[in-house]
């Protein structure tokens, strides 16, 4: 009888140690494969991102996010004098960026977030 109590106590101790070590380790992090672009404006916006050698168009509704697997984004603004101003920005996977209306100077723009 004493042996079974002793075995139960040892098993409980090992279980407690195992549970403590499991919960103290942070879970493994998945590699960050995408950047997040958020439309921070009040209207729908279309921009492009580069994936390899091609540019892909994305249209985002107001206050919505898109996951982007590329390395650059760009957006153009047509001015009243018919000129197009293009903003192009390198992006990093795992980071978040905002597309917004920058007024002044009156054009679409990107910026990274913290």
Position 104 scores a pLDDT of 87
pLDDT in tens, the chain (114 residues): 566 666 666 766 666 665 555 555 666 655 678 999 999 999 999 999 999 999 999 999 999 999 999 999 999 999 889 999 999 999 999 999 999 999 888 999 999 997
Output the pTM of the full model: 0.68
Which residues, including other chains, have CB under 8 Å from residue 37's CB and lie 6 or more apart?
A: 47, 49, 58, 60, 65, 66, 68, 73, 91, 96, 97, 98, 99, 110
Per-residue pLDDT at 87: 94
For 24-43, what is each residue's pLDDT tens digit? Answer: 566 665 567 899 999 999 99
């Amino acid at each position: 009888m004493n042996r079974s109590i002793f075995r139960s106590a040892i098993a409980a101790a090992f279980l407690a140690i195992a549970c403590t070590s499991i919960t103290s380790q942070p879970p493994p992090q998945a590699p960050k494969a995408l950047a997040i672009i958020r439309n921070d404006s009040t209207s729908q916006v279309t921009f492009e991102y580069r994936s390899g050698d091609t540019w892909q168009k994305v249209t985002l509704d107001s206050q919505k996010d898109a996951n982007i697997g590329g390395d650059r984004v760009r957006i153009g603004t047509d001015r009243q004098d018919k000129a197009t101003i293009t903003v192009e920005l390198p992006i990093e996977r795992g980071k978040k960026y905002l597309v917004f209306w920058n007024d002044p100077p009156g054009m679409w723009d990107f910026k990274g977030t913290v």
